[in-house]
């Protein structure tokens, strides 16, 4: 299954899509640290706990860049295979887990 041809896509605006999520998080952290301590209170932001956790995850344990690159290449080449049985089994398993948690 081939999703699309990268040549058909317009160039990303402002460099979007040209960096990894880890690089974008690092840029965001650098930008946040560049805000002076005396900034106007109306311009300050507060990060959610999830966003803070992503920024603190320096090890990249939750992100396998090599795997993402392999999958991206397979999609680009048109060789990526989708195993519907595995997807269905995992969806059913997740649904069962959620239903079990909500009952308990």
pLDDT at 99 over 60: yes
Residue 96 and residue 29: Cα distance in Å, rounded? 38
The sign of the dihedral angle between the CA atoms of 88, 93, 94, 98 is positive
| pLDDT tens track for 9-39 | 555 555 545 566 667 766 766 665 555 556 6
| pLDDT tens track for 39-89 | 666 777 888 887 777 777 665 567 788 999 999 999 999 999 999 999 999
Model confidence at 102, pLDDT cuts 50, 70, 90, reads: confident
Note the pLDDT of residue 47: 80
SS3 for 28?
Answer: helix
Note the pLDDT of residue 40: 66
Contact 96, 19 (CB under 8 A): no
For helices 21-33 and 49-56, what crossing angle results, to 10°?
100
């Amino acid at each position: 299954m081939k999703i699309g041809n990268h040549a058909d896509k317009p160039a990303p605006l402002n460099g979007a899509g040209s960096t990894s999520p880890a690089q974008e998080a690092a840029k965001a952290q650098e930008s946040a640290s560049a805000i002076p301590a005396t900034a106007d209170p109306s311009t300050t932001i507060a990060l959610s706990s999830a966003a803070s956790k992503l920024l603190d995850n320096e090890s990249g344990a939750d992100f396998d860049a090599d795997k993402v690159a392999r999958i991206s290449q397979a999609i680009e080449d048109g060789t990526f295979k989708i195993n519907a049985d595995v997807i269905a089994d995992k969806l059913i398993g997740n649904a069962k887990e959620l239903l079990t948690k909500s009952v308990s």
